[in-house]
Amino acid sequence: MSVHAKQGRKNLMRRVVPAAVLAALIGWRVSAVEPVRQEARITAVTLIHGIPGKEEELKQHLLSLSAPTRAEPGCVTYDLYQSPDKKHEFMRFEVWSSPEALEAHKKTPHLKVSFEKRQREGWTTQILTWERVPE
């Protein structure tokens, strides 16, 4: 990875990840109406680094994953964000009802195909997982 790409990822993480993590920790629910048991949840913040100038293709691909993923058992929130400064940088904010639900998601055909496409296209992905600390 180039120095420029590493710096871009570092800046993205400094700006976006803290806000996403804060939202998860205080229990915001973007996609659902009913509350979910807080202690069972797991949050995943996925950073996707695309190629400058080809961000529309990456965005459309990532958006195509939303509907099938939201239909999966245990999916609470599955939202895509795009950097306002670096349009080829995306963040997927996910909340799952349990670690098992997240692991099952990673094994779905549509996600396996997505990760293969990301490798072919030169898009990189970093997944950070967070568990809520019970009070």
pLDDT tens-digit map of 83-111: 999 999 999 999 999 999 999 999 999 99
Query: Between these two residues, 19 and 7, which has the higher pLDDT value?
Result: 7
Cα(41)–Cα(123) distance, rounded to whole angstroms?
Answer: 28
Q: According to the model, what pLDDT value does residue 100 have?
A: 94
Q: According to the model, what pLDDT value does residue 133 have?
A: 82
Domain extents in the chain: 3-131
- pLDDT value at 3 more than 80: no
Report pLDDT digits (tens) over 47-80.
999 999 999 999 999 999 999 999 999 999 999 9
Q: According to the model, what pLDDT value does residue 38 have?
A: 52
Cα(116)–Cα(120) distance, rounded to whole angstroms?
Answer: 6
- Residue that the structure tokens 């599955």 belong to: 78
CATH number of 3-131: 3.30.70.100
